[in-house]
Structure 1
Amino acid sequence: MRNFPILRLRVTTPRLELRLPSLDDLDALADLAADGVHDPQDMPFTFPWTDAEPAERARSTVRFHFRQWSAWTPEKWSCLFVTVFEGQVAGTQEISGTDFAITREAGTGSWLGRRFHGRGIGTEMRAAVLHLAFDGLGARTATSAAFTDNHASLAVSRKLGYRDDGIDVHSRRGERAETRRLRLSREDWSTPPGFGIHDLEPCLPLFGLAGTEKA
């Protein structure tokens, strides 16, 4: 689409392709959400959307992507990729920014369908959007956060070089719970081999960057 070129943007790794979802991709992602994202006794999200019934989880997944597309501005954007592994949609990986041209800071968030857990996909898809942030968009820092009992997410952050950045407190299912903030600087980032960014240049204005501006 000429007027919304972000739909052509892709990030590739040795095993994965991250892309903005087609309608068929959204159907597959919604099916994954309906099948389950995590153990029901756990809650890794500050907004407990996965507590809904399977059909509502599926619908809310589609609605969320549509809302993020319609709300996109150069000043505040959320780029929601689907992660494709061996030809199958495995989950979603977000990278977001507010006043990115000034702050040069991006945030990330993600989930994987349960049948894709335990294969290192979460680490690889986070590394993919960090490659986009640092090497494609010229970010200076990237942030993440996870509940202190979300050991898998925290392990991904540690593996990729994030450092502690404080604690936030939330109400989770009616109980007090802490999230650990994490921050990664450009100086601590090194792109793994075999990573690529495709069709980024036409998208730069949508990220708040003029022409090929990076810093």
Structure 2
Amino acid sequence: MDAWPLRHLVLRTPRLELRPDDDSGLFELVRVAQAGVHDPDEMPFTVPWTDRLPDNNGLEMLQHFWGERARLAAGDWAICFLVRHEGRVIGLQELNAQNFGVLREVNTGSWMGKSFHGNGFGTEMRVAVLQFAFDHLGAHIARSAAWQGNGASNRVSAKLGYVHDGTMAAAPRGERLEHVRLRLDRANFVRPDWEVAVEGLAECGHLITS
């Protein structure tokens, strides 16, 4: 039995490779974040970690991902996939679940370096983890969320078949904003003409499907 079986997991799409985070990849991810993730006048995250990035040089990022690894348990997990294009880290795609064996639900969240926006990578990496969750893990429902005014994220969600599932309020910069909850049932998933290739699930499946 491998002490950290997630290190074998790989998802591949036509243009991207997704692997669970490792320290060397996280250092590269920090540099991507430091180069810019979003317009400074906007805050796409409920936790405004990019505002604090210049003050902590990425330490807070590393501590977050290390904490996610440390909390991983059978059925309750977060897999933080580093997304690479042509061998270079371009962003992060998270897939997480609680009590997965009973609920069969997952949540997704993602971000990319600003210089990689506009190439369809965001859709491709979300499709990768949705296919992985529905077709390989046996998930029934995928959930996500985005600010009401986040047109790019909401367009991707609508294109893939998500429907609105209510709202919640948040104030990442001290101003009340509406966060739209989104739900995608497996039967409503609008699939592309390609399928994600999955490697290494046999080594880690006991952790994430139970």
Identify the TM-score tier after normalising by the shorter chain. Answer: over 0.9
How has the CA–CA distance of structure 1 residues 133 and 194 changed in structure 2, closer, same or farther, with 3 Å as cutoff?
closer
Aligned to 2:17, the other structure's residue is in SS state: strand
How has the CA–CA distance of structure 1 residues 16 and 55 changed in structure 2, closer, same or farther, with 3 Å as cutoff?
farther
Aligned to 2:144, the other structure's residue is in SS state: strand
Q: Quick one: distance in 2 between partners of 1:175 and 1:7?
A: 40
Correspondence for 1:120: 120
Q: How far did 1:57 drift?
A: 5.2
The residue correspondences of 1:1-215 to structure 2 (distance < 5 A) are 2-54=2-54, 56=56, 58-192=58-192, 193-209=194-210
- Give the conservation status (yes or no) of the 8 Å contact 1:168–1:180: yes
Q: Quick one: distance in 2 between partners of 1:9 and 1:55?
A: 33
Root-mean-square deviation (Å): 1.4
Aligned to 2:176, the other structure's residue is in SS state: strand
Q: How far did 1:191 drift?
A: 4.3
Q: Quick one: distance in 2 between partners of 1:80 and 1:174?
A: 28
Q: How far did 1:189 drift?
A: 2.0
Q: Quick one: distance in 1 between partners of 2:35 and 2:146?
A: 22
Q: Quick one: distance in 2 between partners of 1:55 and 1:29?
A: 17
Q: How far did 1:208 drift?
A: 4.1
Q: How far did 1:54 drift?
A: 2.6
Q: How far did 1:177 drift?
A: 0.5
- Give the conservation status (yes or no) of the 8 Å contact 1:33–1:54: no
Q: Give the residue type in structure 2 aligned to 1:110.
A: S
- Give the conservation status (yes or no) of the 8 Å contact 1:33–1:57: no
Q: Give the residue type in structure 2 aligned to 1:197.
A: V
Q: Deviations over 1:143-184 (max 9, x none)?
A: 000011111111111111111111111123111100111100
Q: How far did 1:53 drift?
A: 3.8
Q: Which runs of 4+ in 1 moved over 3 A?
A: none
Q: Quick one: distance in 1 between partners of 2:190 and 2:154?
A: 19
What is the TM-score with the length of structure 2 in the denominator?
0.95
Q: Deviations over 1:84-130 (max 9, x none)?
A: 01111000000000000000000000110111111000000000000
Q: How far did 1:22 drift?
A: 2.9
Q: Quick one: distance in 2 between partners of 1:145 and 1:205?
A: 28
The sequence identity of aligned pairs, in percent, is 43
User: Gaps (5+ residues) in structure 1?
Assistant: 210-215
- Give the conservation status (yes or no) of the 8 Å contact 2:159–2:190: no
- Give the conservation status (yes or no) of the 8 Å contact 1:81–1:93: yes
The number of residues matched between the two structures is 209
- Give the conservation status (yes or no) of the 8 Å contact 1:83–1:90: yes
Q: Quick one: distance in 1 between partners of 2:172 and 2:56?
A: 20
What is the TM-score with the length of structure 1 in the denominator?
0.93
User: Gaps (5+ residues) in structure 2?
Assistant: none
Q: Give the residue type in structure 2 aligned to 1:19.
A: R
